[in-house]
């Protein structure tokens, strides 16, 4: 009996549970059964939810109790030239969002960047973390555990790496709080975001810690990782990719494309993104970096909950002398160079802008990257699947997100310094 109506009746009668349907029917029929049941129970027509293009049999690793699909509008911004450590060339940026004005804002920023010859981006560090917490009797035992860990990193590495052919353990950092010992394991997970890889590897290493020390494992994740929560440790030590994008915009492009001045941009960024964020005790010193991160995450199959860490970014802006001004003022009338850049700034300078992410967690293999629309979006970027060398595609994705988010920062800061923010949302946000 594999008719959706019959199976739904068995669920209502308590003969089957929702999660058992795949044991009695194929995945498509199981999903149709759940829709039939929910429609009857709620009176809601699920025609839109039932209209999806992915193979129901192929998403068992992504979702349980499959009901259907959620569609989000996808736009595209660009093109823009990127000089990255892994991303090198001209790119279009796919963005899935329900927020009107977002893609237009990023596109405007990319237009200014493109006119200036493109942006530069680099991944400066990479490492996915998992931090189990252990119980000990007291500080003396905690010291013994820490000493053992420091003396036996190679043994821990061998245990952890026995679970994967794709990840490398690069560090184990101990932290002690009373009778709790936290060990923050750091992994190079190549092109995978790597959370599952890190968890499985850390479980194996934790068993060795228990065998060889007085420590007893309490939780495989002790929240010092720290995953899907705002955390200063991620801002300082990094998690996933730490990546920066920057650009120098000539004054004329700021005035013509962004409708403001470099000086106004610098003041707006300082007062809003730096002083305002400090007053709010924010971990993110930026205007709206999470907007671009979320949109590209949804488009390319990243874990949307990790936008939390993706908002952990700092935007900087300063006025710099133009190339012509530098050549003219490299020496003053006395033949001496200016003491510092600030002393040489003038109202004729260009705008330098950067955006630095401390903990951008991305991958181009595994998870949601295998879904049809998300895979196509990665193909648009030219960085789907495993990279050559390993890790290059995930590095490239991080660099491209950083450039897109930098464009969004430029556009939004320009909008409020020129007092166009509300009118743009009225026109495009509808």
List residues with catalytic annotation.
99, 303, 425
All residues at 6 or more sequence positions from 104 whose CB lies less than 8 Å from its CB, including other chains: 424, 428
Q: In 313-360, where do the E strands start and end? A: 313-320, 350-360
Closest C-alpha among 196, 142, 138, 143 to residue 167: 196
Phi, psi of 237 (to 5 degrees): -90, -20
Give me the helix-helix angle, 102-115 and 392-417, nearest 10°.
100
Angle at 373 between CA 51 and CA 409, to 5 degrees: 120
Closest C-alpha among 383, 375, 363, 299 to residue 55: 375
Report the relative pairing of strands 180-188 and 119-130 from DSSP bridges.
antiparallel
Bridge partners of 89? Answer: 82
Rounded to the nearest 10 degrees, how much is the dihedral formed by the CA atoms of 306, 309, 310, 311?
130
Q: How far apart are CA 226 and CA 360, in angstroms?
A: 13
């Amino acid at each position: 009996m594999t008719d959706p109506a019959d199976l739904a009746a068995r669920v209502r009668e308590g003969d089957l549970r929702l999660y058992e349907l795949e044991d009695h029917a194929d995945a498509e029929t199981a999903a149709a059964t759940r829709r039939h049941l929910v429609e009857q129970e709620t009176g809601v027509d699920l025609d839109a939810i039932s209209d999806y293009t992915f193979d129901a049999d192929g998403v068992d690793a992504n979702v349980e109790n499959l009901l259907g699909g959620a569609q989000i509008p996808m736009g595209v911004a660009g093109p823009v030239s990127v000089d990255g450590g892994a991303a090198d060339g001209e790119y279009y940026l796919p963005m899935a969002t329900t927020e009107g004005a977002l893609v237009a804002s990023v596109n405007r920023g990319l237009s200014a960047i493109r006119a200036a010859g493109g942006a530069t981006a680099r991944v400066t560090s990479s490492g996915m973390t998992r931090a189990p917490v252990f119980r000990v009797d007291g500080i003396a035992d905690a010291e013994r555990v820490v000493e053992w860990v420091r003396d036996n990193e190679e043994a821990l590495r061998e245990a952890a790496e026995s679970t994967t052919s794709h990840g490398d353990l690069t560090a184990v950092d101990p932290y002690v709080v009373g009778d709790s010992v936290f060990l923050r394991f750091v992994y190079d997970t190549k092109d995978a975001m790597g959370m599952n890889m890190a968890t499985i590897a850390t479980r194996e290493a934790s068993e060795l810690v228990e065998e060889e020390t007085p420590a007893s494992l309490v939780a495989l994740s002790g929240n010092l990782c720290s995953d899907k929560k705002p955390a200063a440790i991620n801002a300082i030590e990094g998690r996933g990719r730490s990546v920066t994008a920057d650009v120098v915009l000539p004054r004329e492009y700021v005035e013509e494309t962004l409708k403001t001045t470099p000086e106004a941009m610098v003041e707006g960024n300082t007062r809003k993104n730096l002083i305002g964020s400090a007053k709010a005790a924010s971990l993110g010193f930026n205007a709206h970096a999470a907007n671009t991160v979320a949109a590209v995450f949804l488009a390319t199959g990243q874990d949307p909950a990790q936008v939390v860490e993706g908002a952990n970014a700092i935007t900087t802006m300063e006025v710099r002398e133009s190339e012509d001004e530098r050549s003219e003022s490299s020496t003053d009338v006395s033949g001496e160079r200016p003491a510092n850049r600030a002393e040489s700034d003038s109202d004729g300078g260009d705008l330098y802008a950067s955006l630095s992410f401390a903990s951008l967690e991305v991958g181009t293999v595994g998870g949601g990257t295998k879904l049809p629309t998300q895979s196509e979006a990665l193909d648009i970027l030219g960085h789907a699947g495993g990279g050559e060398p390993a890790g290059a595609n995930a590095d490239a994705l991080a660099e491209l997100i950083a450039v897109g988010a930098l464009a969004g920062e430029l556009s939004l800061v320009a909008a409020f310094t020129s007092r166009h923010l509300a009118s743009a949302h009225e026109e495009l946000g509808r």
